[in-house]
Amino acid sequence: MATQAVSAVAGIAPQQAAPAQSAKHSGFASGGVRVPRVAGFANGSARVKHVTRAEATPQGRPSPYQFEKDMDQLESQQSALGQARLGAYGVVVGGALAVGAAAGTATGSNAAKAVLTAGLGAGAAVAVATADKKRVTAAPKALWNGMLNRDPATITKADVDAIGAKFGMKDMSKDCPEAVTELYDAYLQSIVPMGEDPVQGWEPEALRNFRQQLGLEDADAANAHMEVGRRLFRKRIELGDKDADLESRREFQKLVFISTRTFGEKQAKFLLPWNRIFRVSDAQVTLAMKESASNLFKTRVVESGAIDTLESGALAAAKAYQQELNLKDADCAEVVEKLAQDFVVQKVEAASELSQVRSVNSDFSEANNLLDQVLDYNKKMASGGDALPGLKVVTLAGSSFEEKNSEANALFRNYVTAGTEAGEFSADLKSNSGALKVLFGMGNKEAEEIVLDVTTKRYRELLRDAVKSGELDKAESPAKVLQSICEKLQFPPEVAAEVNKENYRTKMEQVMEKKMLTDEDVEALGRVRRLLCVPKDVVDECTAEICGAVYKSAVLGALSVGTEAFTPELRDRCKRAKDAVRLTDDMALSILKAEVVKAFMAYIRVARTKQNKIEQSKEIRKMVYFNSTVVTPMVSDVTKAAAEDAAKELADLLKEAQAAAKKEEADEKKDVEAKADEEKKEEGEEAKDGEEKKDAEAKADGEEAKEGEDKKAEEDKKETEEIAAKIEQPSYQKEINLKDEVDNVSAQGLYQDYLMFCMQGDTVNAPMGVQITIERDQSEFTRLSQLGDILGLNQFEVGSVHKGLADKAYRAQAEQILGDGRGLTAERTEKLAEIQKGLSLPDADAQKIIKGITSKKMLQDMQAQIAMGTLTIADIRRMKDEGVDIENNISMDKRMSMFRKNAEKRLTDGSGSSDLSALTDTLPEDLSITKEKAQKELLKIANEKKRSTMVQAVAELRQKKVDDVMKSAKNLVACHGVAPESKLEWAVEEELKDIFSVFVMQGAGAEEQEKLQAALGLDDAVCADVKEIVDAGKFQLKADVADEALF
């Protein structure tokens, strides 16, 4: 019943409650009931979804003792007797004895009387003892019923002792701890917050007071805490629902916090073995403590307003409460930061709503005031120091406002806009805007763009006011005024220059609406340029773009009509358009160049679509005609002034040269006269008539000199005019070309195709599909020169094209002449020389072509010899001398095969060790084989041949063929000269001596003898004996008579 009552208070359905147990078996005494471990228990600590206002006391809560426990008849009697039960026990026993004695007397027997008295007395005593046992079970029920509907806070130890006294118990907490524990258990179960309800903070103190009033031992109370935990655990298992499981975990976490706070952390570690009973880790217990402590701390701080006001007293109280809860600084900081962020978000959200209010005149002052409050709040947070963990600058990262980038940008823009209304970007505004940037989590680039946009608009406004008010006109230096505006706004000068450029462009577009510029327009543009300090390059750019559009339109009209329809009227229209908008020659030429290049490229695109080279060249010829007829006159119109200046400059140079020559002549004349005067003084004075004659002659010379000077001046003037005429009237323009549009290879290809067209002549189609070649037109070569200039080819590139064609033509005819493979004859050489001269081909290039042709023929012959196996080393040497690349035309395998063949032949030809360098040096060089590779292969061949040659020499010795033995001995010497490291081993030394004897007998030289001795491995003494025998004529080697021929 007690267990059912507790379960009913805890909110568990009666059908799911555990059956009633005695205190002994409920775990209160020992706490030894084992509960199976559930993996992951309390890992997912659920956060509190809503927080109710914490109450300081449990007043108003329903009593956990809301039902009465039933007693049986004996228990009711015990409760009714109370303290009179002992007298009642005596009356019952006494009455039984009296009845026994009366019955015995009636029998008349003393023995029967004694027996009856004793029996009835004993039975009464047993009945009294049985009834007394009921008080042990009746007392707890009476205690429970005595607390019915009472607030546990009003229950005192006297109340408990008074009920115990009725049953003869002095201290129920000791005499009947189970009953007292049951009261505590019910109260504990009732105050553990269920579901989402948080811990309110008064629970641990209320439990401590209640336990103190009951006089309950800590160990017994701890058993009650563990039993409540078991019920929560069973609730998880029995319900088996995910939500119920999560709810039970939260309730268990709150139980852990309340229990730990009730007993204190040190005592709780021994009294509450959560880890052992429920298999939870220390981290899970710590998490349970953190969740509830954080919620309590948050509730207290919110109520006190410490985070909102940052008042020092409230912060100190919050710090004290943190220490009281034993909340870690990191957990405290997490709560403080979240509350501070919520406070800031509330302000920012309000500012955002105010900024979004639509009105005729937008006023963002209230929103900016809220932002100022947030900035002041952040400053206080930054200066909070150690007053409370978590006091630092607040940002909106992770808040509900984090993703509202557009709203944040709008608030930032409005704040900066309002701050620059006075025309100044102050230091405070810069600091506050930086703090706002950090608050909103904006990037540097994003914030800078907004600031630049706002200051740009403000600069435009200030610039407009300065122009309208006349401040810039009155200023001695408009640049200083503009600089002052930029400095106050901290506005980049380069951006200000762009704004000024835009204003100048706008002004130019306004005055150009009538498609021409008047003197007043030019003056107005000059004023704007002066006020805004617009540089010349910007003026030229705007002029070329805006004014040049008029000239460009006229140019397009002239170029679009083509060669045949181009008229002087179109040319004059372009000139008038240029003068109307007052373009410089350079600007006009730049515009004209851009459009002419497009026209040229159009001709080239069309040419590339043609089916053959002749049609392509005809299209290119149209481009040349277009250049001469249309482009050249238009270019001359915009370059005439430059040509005149060049002619004038040339004339000035000629005049200076003439003046210098005249001065030099006069100086020479003065020197001659001075010399004559000196001679006159030395010889004396001459006759007077002689002087008169001299004066007459000098006068005549002066007149002749004057006439010569006048004639020379007229000639110089005429020459200058001729030069100017040539400059003014070029045959075709060269200023515009396709150097930058067409790559060099393509340009040379176009030029080469047209050159071939010039050389071959045009063709016309006759009936029946016949093509007739027209006689070549020499004027095409003039157009070819123009084409080279149009394509932007220099003299070197043009020359390379001509040379390439000449090479091809000479090669073709040389291959035809030398194709039979009979080589160069005198007649052929003379004919090739004539062809070379006709093509103006240098001797070196002609010889290179001839050598290439002959080398190719020789290479073909060589391949045929390789295929037939008739190629010799002599052929290789001859082809190398003729310039054939042996290394690239003969594979390494074939060259090595030839090397082995020649090496074997040389080592077995009987020539001995003479000229072995041909094998080690000459032969590898001829075959283009490295010396290392050749030496390795030669050693291999020599080692193989040395053994086989020795066997052959012995065989020939046994056959007594002296000449053959001599040849084999020389081959041994050759092989040993190539591979001296390898040693021969022969079992029969006499045969080695005989071979050496034959070698000496046949008159071999001393050097050769030494080499054979080394090859055979004979020592000096043996060789000396052999030589002595041979010299004495005692050694003879003759063929058998039977083997000799009859004739």
Closest CA to 730 of 601, 603, 619, 635: 635
The pLDDT value recorded for residue 553 is 93
**Phi, then psi, of 238 in degrees rounded to 5:** -70, -40
749-759: average pLDDT? 82
**What average pLDDT score do residues 287-304 get?**
83
Task: Assign 78 to helix, strand or coil.
Answer: helix
CA–CA gap between residue 258 and residue 254 (Å, rounded): 6
Round to whole Å and give the CA distance between 1016 and 984.
Answer: 6
Q: What is the mean pLDDT of residues 647-676?
A: 70
pLDDT in tens, 616-631: 888 989 999 999 999 9
929 phi, psi to nearest 5 deg: -115, 140
DSSP state of 767: G
Confidence of residue 674 (pLDDT cuts 50, 70, 90): confident
Predicted local distance difference test score (pLDDT) of residue 54: 35
CA 173, CA 171: separation in Å to the nearest integer?
5
For residues 916-929, give the mean pLDDT: 72
Mean pLDDT of 896-914: 74
Containing 771, the helix (H) or strand (E) segment is strand 770-773
CA–CA distance, 125 with 121 (Å, rounded to integer): 6
Task: Say yes or no to pLDDT of 704 above 60.
Answer: no
Helix 744-760 and helix 613-626, axial crossing angle in degrees, nearest 10: 100
Q: Judge whether residue 73 has pLDDT over 60.
A: yes
| Rounded-to-5 percentages of helix, strand, coil across the chain | 75, 0, 25
Which pLDDT band holds residue 499 (cuts at 50, 70, 90)?
Answer: very high
Over the stretch 396-422, which tens digit does the pLDDT of each residue have?
Answer: 888 888 888 898 898 999 999 989 988
Range list of β-strands (E), 695-768: 763-766
- φ/ψ region of 193 (left if φ > 0, alpha if ψ in -120 to 50, else beta) reads beta
Between 1025 and 577, the more confident residue is 577
* Residue-level pLDDT at 326: 82
Least confident of 144-148, 176-180, 818-822: 818-822
Q: How far is CA 176 from CA 66, 69, 70, 795, in A?
A: 22, 17, 18, 126
What's the CA gap between 548 and 534, in Å, rounded?
19
Give me the mean pLDDT over the 49-57 stretch. Answer: 35
Q: Average of pLDDT values for 521-544?
A: 91
| Residue 530 pLDDT exceeds 60 | yes
Q: Residue 551 — very low, low, confident or very high, per pLDDT cuts 50/70/90?
A: very high
pLDDT over 50 at 39, yes or no: no
Query: What own/partner pairs with CB < 8 Å and gap ≥ 24 does 18-26 have?
Result: 18/231, 18/234, 22/178, 23/177, 23/178, 23/179, 23/181, 23/182, 24/178, 26/178, 26/227
Would you call 772 helix, strand, or coil by DSSP?
strand
Segment 1004-1029, tens digit of pLDDT: 777 777 777 777 777 878 888 777 77
The CA distance from 635 to 886, in Å, is: 59
Nearest 5°: phi and psi at 763?
A: -130, 150
Higher-scoring residue by pLDDT: 335, 6:
335
B/e letters for 420-437, b = 16+ CB within 10 Å, e = fewer, are beeeebeeebeebbebbb
pLDDT for 865: 58
CA distances to 957, 997, 1001, 1028 from 1033, rounded to whole Å, are: 18, 11, 9, 9
Bridge partners, residue 763, by sequence: 773
pLDDT of residue 3: 34
Confidence of residue 509 (pLDDT cuts 50, 70, 90): very high
pLDDT band at 913 (very low <50, low <70, confident <90, very high): low
Task: Give tens-digit pLDDT for 842-898.
Answer: 777 777 777 766 666 666 666 665 665 556 666 666 666 655 666 666 777 777 877
pLDDT at 485 over 50: yes
Higher pLDDT, 38 or 780: 780
Tokens representing 235? 């609730």
- Indicate the angle between helix axes 795-818 and 843-868, nearest 10 degrees: 40
Does residue 685 surpass a pLDDT of 70?
no
- Contact at 8 Å (CB) between 493 and 486? yes
pLDDT at 803 over 50: yes
pLDDT at position 946 is 76
Strand partners, 770: 766
pLDDT of residue 416: 92
Residues 502, 478: contact at Cβ < 8 Å? no
Q: Which amino acid is at 206?
A: A
Stretch among 84-88, 532-536, 762-766 having the lowest mean pLDDT: 84-88
- The pLDDT of residue 462 is 92
- Percent of the chain clearing pLDDT 70 (strictly above): 72
Mean of the per-residue pLDDT values of the chain: 75
Of 30-44, 208-222, 588-602, 903-917, which range is least confident?
A: 30-44
Q: What is the mean pLDDT of residues 51-63?
A: 51
Measured CA to CA, the distance from residue 429 to residue 421 in angstroms comes to 11
786 within 8 A of 627, measured Cβ to Cβ: yes
What is 894-955 written as a DSSP string? HHHHHHHHHHHHHHTSS-TTTTTHIIIIIHHHHTT--HHHHHHHHHHHHHHHHHHHHHHHHH
* DSSP per residue, 518-556: -HHHHHHHHHHHHHHT--HHHHHHHIIIIIHHHHHHHHH
Q: How far is CA 684 from the centre of its chain?
A: 103
What is the rounded distance in angstroms from the CA atom of residue 134 to the CA atom of residue 78?
7
pLDDT at 651: 62
Res 453 pLDDT > 90:
yes
Confidence of residue 557 (pLDDT cuts 50, 70, 90): very high
Q: What is the arithmetic mean of pLDDT over 121-138?
A: 60
- pLDDT (tens digit, 9 = 90+) per residue, 969-992? 877 877 877 777 777 777 777 877
pLDDT tens track for 1-34:
333 332 332 332 333 333 333 333 333 233 333 3
- Cα distance between residue 1038 and residue 960, in whole Å: 6
